[in-house]
Chains A and B, each alone.
Chain A
């Protein structure tokens, strides 16, 4: 069963103007140009920012009514801009941060990451740092996992691997994933896409349907994924009937005998 997250009239200074939406899909992407308020919204959901106005309900309960430690067992958030590890090795760091060691072991198995344990925290690659954060977050068995622009820390290949791992994990644990991104290419994988602009929600819906609104997206100032851009433009010329994401299929469709 999906989780339901209801945001009503969320406002925060000049940054967030009036966000109202109901998130009920499993894999949700929030995109938008630089400084449109994505991370601020995430910080509110993470209860770092408290002086916002409006209400947020998760499964019909106002989030402010949860005790913080209770809340962290429901919602786990990773904002990777500032990460600091205190212990020398990954294993020690894990022991410092969580008591759910059994859970950690299961996740390490699942992600095939046992090797990570003995590594020194100051020698971790960006990819390993994200994995460590992820493992720590998942050890809480959260219902909702929020990831703020993690692709920024990962090369394309590592990003794909992490997303695939997460999707497998999600199916087993019926967890909601909410992510933010700038590159709309990443949104194609999601079930539902929100596009923010100047602290408001500008567009929402099924990713491919949203991405077809090329004029609005251009005005907002985001690049369309290449194949979507190509498809929409070819559709304007009546050379194509639908968005095609695979280049092979596009070539077949354009020059079929």
Chain B
């Protein structure tokens, strides 16, 4: 029997990573709170085909009173690094990354307490990934937001989160500090969770050759460490 862990108390100013297959229920459990979920994909709708009308509608739907909405929409687009000429474009012509950044822009305007990102940072190039991460980090540090990354990419979760929540068969089976969870190799193996690449190299060096490398997050650090031990 797995030990069942109560739903964590989602703390402010923290980036959580959630690993698990059907996390929908978990997301639904947030319903009453002020959350915004950046979905994998922003599908276009018939009623609000353009970026501007879609953004306006998404914001109105949330019953928020926002002064100078037009200016806020333009500003938010600039903050996420999109051209304002995009506002009149049809959503179905947007690229994958533009669809994600539009959602991030809506999120900035609606100012939720909890920001969830599905398939966090996936499909983004280095520069865009950095921009999204820096923005979310700022939301977390300066405005005490809770950020939740849902992902099956343990490399991303290892790199970018503070806390990990592992969800299996509709239950939370583990919560903990990101570093500690990912250093717990036997647990990861038992639950068929992919060991982050950086961790795995250190683990294999110890296991196969008894070389004691440390666990690193930056590839340059692991190179230096290997250099010292060869």
Contacts and interface: CB of A to CB of B under 8 A. Distances in A.
B222 interface: yes
B219 interface: yes
Interface residues of B, number: 39
A102 B92 CA distance: 33
Contacts of B127: 33, 221
A7 interface: no
Given A152-B40, A239-B226, A34 B205 contact: no
Given A222-B125, A226-B155, A233-B223, A81 B201 contact: no
A247 B226 contact: no
Contacts of A239: 226-227, 230
B122 interface: yes
Interface stretch (A19-27, A133-141, A165-173, A249-257): A249-257
Name the residue among A152, A156, A247, A251 with the largest chain B CB count within 10 angstroms. Answer: A251
A198 B217 CA distance: 31
B205 A255 contact: yes
A6 to B, nearest CB: 26
Interface in A134-167: 149, 152-153, 155-157
Contact of A82 (B44, B119, B125): B44
A229 B197 CA distance: 11
B123 A230 contact: no
Contact of B95 (A39, A247, A248): A39
B197 A34 contact: no
B209 interface: yes
Given A35-B98, A149-B96, A254-B230, A155 B125 contact: no
B126 interface: yes
Interface in B119-139: 119, 122-128
B2 interface: no
A110 interface: no
B188 to A, nearest CB: 15
B208 interface: yes
Contacts of A218: 126
Interface string A223-254: 10011011001100101000000011011101
8 contacts: A34-B97, A35-B95, A82-B44, A155-B152, A226-B219, A247-B204, A248-B208, A255-B205
